[in-house]
Amino acid sequence: MDLSFSEKDEAFRQEVISFLDENWPADQRGKVEFNKETYLDWHKKLHAKGWVAPAWPEEYGGTGWTPTQRYIFDQEMAKAETFPSLAFNTSMVGPVIYTFGSPEQKERFLPPTLSADIWWCQGYSEPGSGSDLASLRTKAVREGDHYIVNGSKTWTTFAQHADWIFCLVRTDPDVKKQQGISFLLIDMKTPGVTVRPIITLGGDHEVNEVFLEDVKVPVENLIGEENMGWTYAKFLLMHERSNIAAVHQSKRYLERLKEVAANDDLAGHGPKMSDDPDFIKKVSEIEIDLTALEFTELRSLANEEAGKGPGAESSILKIRGTELQQRISHLAVELAGYYALPYQRNLGHNEYPAGPEHTVDAAAHYFNGRKTSIYGGTNEIQRNIIAKAVLGL
């Protein structure tokens, strides 16, 4: 057992750091507004460098890094507070296409997926099928060279930006629910596809409903075999859960809160939160729990390095990772005091918020962050997975 990274790994870290210094300069960290343009811009910078999808096989554009190098990369990205790459592309549909797609599909879709010339969204959940995903009812009926798709998807993140959607659809209603599902790629511009925004607490527009009405999808957009979609979906969910712990993002966020709490100018003549024993206790508890999470993640990384794939322990990372994100975002609300109350997210260019900068998004961020224990399989479902798959209960 040894905690230090090899010389080679440290050299690699330096390479990552200098790339980030150049392309995501220190003075913009934590300040870049998140929108389609800035997100794509960053994705494309990573792509130009060849680093946008480290986990992919090299032949499709991956980096060939070891899991440790990937970990270092994630860590440095988080420290620099960059955006992630477009996860729907790099962690979700991309791996499905290169694993299960035909040679033609790989050729057609992998390059624009890697470069984000296609922005993908994930069409799994439906109004009636959340935790029980396999009960989904969106129907695809084969007619000649096409599938005719009818149904609706919901909670589709960034469907408003997306060019394509990868969907789970029911192609055989007469078999066990997991066995009649197929994996279809659908161009969002196809007639019959409509998107309706869902606004979440605090006013964000991240998720949508996607209605599919007699949508004609060429059969060549079917991934793998008809009725094998559940296998591909499960494969994808495994990938979706990697880096779900967000340890380094949480550490960075906590550091920012500590800076605010200790800032003399912000405190003025008033009490300073960094002197408040209750605040200190919460920060230290979070730090210690984050360390437990970090080393759980490192152990799972070591397993992966030894050739054992990410197993059910990724559910531990999801549970604790999201709980910690939520605790930190509540701490931000506490730090904001009365200024957590004003809703001032729609200010014009010459308008200033009533309270200090750190207070503006605190409450909205906390409310929005309740999603993390719901999406990607709720934390109750994650516990069910551990109970069954790890504990054999």
| Among 125, 138, 182, 315, interactor with ligand FAD by CB under 6 A | 125
Rule CB under 8 A: say whether 376 interacts with other proteins.
no
- Draw the binding track, 345-364, toward other proteins (x: CB under 8 A; -: no contact): ---------xx-------xx
What is the enclosing helix (H) or strand (E) of 155? none
Q: Which is nearer to other proteins, 90 or 152 (CB)?
A: 152
274 binds other proteins (CB under 8 A): no
Q: What is the DSSP string of 239-289?
A: HHTTTTT-HHHHHHHHHHHHHHHT-HHHHTTS--GGG-HHHHHHHHHHHHH
Q: Per CB under 8 A, does 198 bind other proteins? A: yes
d(CA 182, CA 230): 7
3-state secondary structure 91-140: HHHHHHHHHHCCHHHHHHHHHHHHHCCCCEEEECCECCECCCHHHCCCEE
Distance from C-alpha of 348 to C-alpha of 150, rounded to nearest angstrom: 42
Angle at 236 between CA 235 and CA 242, to 5 degrees: 105
Q: Please choose, from the candidates 120, 101, 116, the residue with its C-alpha nearest in 3D space to the C-alpha of residue 52.
A: 116
Residue 323 corresponds to which tokens in the numbers above?
A: 């709980």
Report the distance separating Cα 360 and Cα 136, nearest Å: 39
| 326 binds ligand FAD per the rule CB under 6 A | no
**Number of residues in contact with other proteins under rule CB under 8 A:** 53
Task: Supply the DSSP string of 282-320, one letter for each residue.
Answer: HHHHHHHHHHHHHHHHHHHHHHHHTTPPP-TTHHHHHHH
Q: Are 186 and 149 in contact (CB under 8 A)?
A: yes
Angle at 366 between CA 355 and CA 246, to 5 degrees: 120
Q: Are 170 and 138 in contact (CB under 8 A)?
A: yes
Binding mask 230-269 for other proteins (x = CB under 8 A): ------------------------------------xxxx
Q: Which residue is nearest to ligand FAD (CB)?
A: 130
392 binds, among ligand FAD, other proteins, none (CB under 5 to 8 A by kind): none
**Per CB under 8 A, which region of 8-16, 40-48, 122-130, 286-294 contacts other proteins?**
122-130
Q: Considering only residues 200, 227, 231, 263, which one is a binding residue for other proteins as defined by CB under 8 A?
A: 200
**Which span (40-48, 61-69, 283-291, 334-342) binds other proteins, by CB under 8 A?**
334-342
Site for other proteins contains 341 (CB under 8 A) = yes
Q: Quick one: 115 or 378, whose CB is closer to ligand FAD?
A: 378
Tokens of 356: 């200090």
The residue from 12, 71, 98, 155 that contacts ligand FAD (CB under 6 A) is 155
374 belongs to the binding site for other proteins (CB under 8 A): yes
- Does position 105 bind other proteins by CB under 8 A? no
Contact between 105 and ligand FAD (CB under 6 A)?
no
Which of 120, 99, 132 has its CA nearest to residue 309?
A: 99
Residue 263's binding partner out of ligand FAD, other proteins, none, with CB under 5 to 8 Å set by partner kind: none
Question: Nearest approach, Cβ of 387 to other proteins (angstroms)?
Answer: 10
Residue 271 binds: one of other proteins, ligand FAD, none (C-beta under 5 to 8 A by kind): other proteins
Is 131 a binding residue for ligand FAD by CB under 6 A? The answer is yes
Q: Which is nearer to other proteins, 97 or 336 (CB)?
A: 336
Q: Which of residues 365-384 bind ligand FAD (CB under 6 A)?
A: 371, 374-375, 377-378, 380-381, 384
CB of 288 to ligand FAD, least distance (A): 27
- Identify what 157 binds: ligand FAD, other proteins, none; CB under 5 to 8 Å per kind: ligand FAD
Query: How many residues belong to the site for ligand FAD (CB under 6 A)?
Result: 20
Interacting residues with ligand FAD between 201 and 230 (CB under 6 A): 206-207
Burial grade of 313 (CB within 10 A; 0-12, 13-18, 19 or more): middle
- DSSP-derived letter for residue 214 is E
Residues lying near ligand FAD in the complex (CB under 6 A): 121-125, 130-131, 155-157, 206-207, 371, 374-375, 377-378, 380-381, 384
